[in-house]
Amino acid sequence: DAGITQSPRHKVTETGTPVTLRCHQTENHRYMYWYRQDPGHGLRLIHYSYGVKDTDKGEVSDGYSVSRSKTEDFLLTLESATSSQTSVYFCAISAPRGASTDTQYFGPGTRLTVL
Amino acid sequence: GDSVTQMEGPVTLSEEAFLTINCTYTATGYPSLFWYVQYPGEGLQLLLKATKADDKGSNKGFEATYRKETTSFHLEKGSVQVSDSAVYFCALKHNQGGKLIFGQGTELSVKP
């Protein structure tokens, strides 16, 4: 299994509070992604990173920001959480050095509830 | 834009039954196609993939063939087990860039 951890694994917070989710990898993969999983929608890409300090938006980026200051860490921040951001969040990685971006490996997920 | 459509679930089968989960896609060019599986309480795992037309991906008794003419990538298994109970996701990715586009997922429940 790819070495990907997410923290926290579960979080309950209140509307309007800031929340930061962390993804940590030990695989030295170049690409990192944040997805959210909601019933009936599969997984939808929020943001992704193709290197340190290089990030771009996905299809559902509104209300989220990301940062990647080190290869191994990719942070997802909800500046002011809303109930519509209640979801399960997955981090993924791809592209070991010198290889293609073909396969993505997923972390265990973070279940976030916004009350 | 690009999209993936899967058959709706949940799908309930008896052990040793034949499984088909339909997946069709809309995309420009020639994307790579994937099936991912998510077991309860876990993240997604790559099950199989195919990168060009007529390729067959296979793993753990599951198979899927990349059919460009019908824009399909249906997942099949000849004899399912209770341990195959999971949610299955079909996905596509263009060879330029690493973004995956997922279908909505199909839940499979296999009864003894």
Q: What is the pLDDT of residue B41?
A: 85
Cβ contacts of B100 on chain A, cutoff 8 Å = 33, 43, 45, 104
Q: What is the pLDDT of residue B95?
A: 64
pLDDT at A100 over 60: no
pLDDT at A4 over 60: yes
Mean pLDDT over B44-65 rounds to 94
Q: Which residue has the higher pLDDT, B63 or A1?
A: B63
Determine the distance from the C-alpha atom of residue A70 to the mean position of all C-alpha atoms in its chain, rounded to a whole number. Answer: 15
3-state secondary structure of A71: coil
Contacts 24+ apart (CB under 8 A), B50-55: B51/A102, B51/B95
Cis peptide before A39 (omega within 30 of 0): no
Percent share of chain A, pLDDT over 70: 91
CA angle A54, A55, A59 (to 5 degrees): 160
Among the partner-chain residues B98, B102, B104, the one whose CB lies closest to the CB of A95 is B98
Mean pLDDT over B48-52 rounds to 91
Question: Would you say A23 and A32 are in contact if contact means Cβ atoms under 8 Å apart?
Answer: yes
Among the partner-chain residues B4, B32, B105, the one whose CB lies closest to the CB of A102 is B32
Q: What is the pLDDT of residue A20?
A: 98
Q: Return mean pLDDT, chain B.
A: 92
Nearest CA in chain A to B50: A102
pLDDT at A76 over 70: yes
pLDDT at A15 over 80: yes
Best to test chain B binding among A43, A50, A55, A87 (most B CBs inside 10 Å): A43
Query: Does B104 sit within 8 Å of A101, measured CB to CB?
Result: no
Mean pLDDT over A1-12 rounds to 89
